[in-house]
Structure 1
Amino acid sequence: MINNLLDQLVHNNIQLIISDNQKLKLLYQKNNVTDELKNQITKNKLKIMQRLLENKQARSVGFNIYGSGDLYEYRYGFGSYLYIERSANDLVTAWRANYPKGGDKPYKLKIIRKNSSFEKAFKEAKGFIDWLNKKNGKRY
């Protein structure tokens, strides 16, 4: 639901920004927003803001974000990825996958958290990233 709305906003070149005082701002050209779209934005304002904050949080630790937050990808080595994927029910699954050179199927797969809130899955994923950085001597 929210994914479709966010995709529609992107398609109509409408930018969403959360202001410093936690208000949702829209940047758009007049002809790009219909009354129906405005109503959908108003109706889903809190969910939209939550998704934008989740995307910002994920981006801050190095995740690539696809489909307005359908999939988050963090590459931590050659063929080594950490994913957070959103399901249709808005729950997420976080997992790691290792792919052989030139391969498209993982030879190793580890589920970190399944059918969870974004908050819990992200916390686990970030814990793994922090552990990796500490192990590799990186400081952020």
Structure 2
Amino acid sequence: MLNNLLDELYVHNIEIILHDNKKLKLLYDKNHNIETLKQKIKQNKYKIIARLQENQDAYSKGFNIYGHGDLYEYRYGYGSYLYIERYENELVSVYRLNYFKGGVKPYKVKIVRENCSFERGLKDATGFIQWLNKRQKIG
């Protein structure tokens, strides 16, 4: 799974950077032998590039990114959150949760989209954000 590889890079203090949306650049301590990891990166190059591009897209829309892209969070009010959650099969679900002040369980859960591509999920999530911004400008 891609996240296992990304976790392994993180544990070994290897930073992977997307350069010009098509090349990967590794930043690491040159004293460490990472040939095995380099082979894994080569085998998963296009998946890594896609994930890094998705993370950049979500970040540009205001999402916080957790777990190398397992979970994306957008806070749009006190106790109001929009999430994009990635599953092991690479599909995502988009949902909103609302919490009372100091609450640990949401009082409201709204599923926006389930089991879709990241692209579709981000489109739906940003559609909600745009709707919310228009509504706030009117009110």
So what's the TM-score if we normalise by structure 2? 0.94
Match of 2:27 in 1: 27
Shifted more, 23-32 versus 112-121: the winner is: 23-32
Q: Which stretches of structure 1, 4 residues or more, deviate above 6 A after TM superposition? A: none
Rate the CA distance shift 1:33–1:133 in 2: closer, same or farther, 3 A. Answer: farther
CA distance in 2, matches of 1:108, 1:21: 38
1:1-140 equivalences in 2 (<5 Å) = 1-20=1-20, 22-137=22-137
Tell me the amino acid that sits aligned with residue 26 of structure 2.
L
State the AA in 2 paired with 1:118: F
Superposed displacement of residue 59, structure 1: 0.5
How many Å separate the matches in 1 of 2:60 and 2:137?
19
Deviation for aligned residue 1:21: 6.2
Which whole-Å CA distance do the structure 1 matches of 2:134 and 2:53 have between them? 26
User: d(CA) in 1 for partners of 2:19 and 2:54?
Assistant: 15
Which structure 1 residue ranges, 5 or more long, are not aligned? Answer: none
Cα deviation digits, residues 87-122 of structure 1 (max 9, x gap): 111111100010111111111111111011100000
Q: Deviations over 1:51-101 (max 9, x none)?
A: 000000000011010000010000000100000001111111100010111
> Gapped runs of 5+ residues in structure 2?
none
Aligned Cα RMSD in Å?
A: 1.4
Contact 2:21–2:49 (8 Å) recurs in 1: no
Q: How many residues align?
A: 138
**CA distance in structure 2 between the partners assigned to 1:73 and 1:130 by the alignment:** 16
Task: Tell whether the 8 Å contact from 1:13 to 1:32 is kept in structure 2 after alignment.
Answer: no
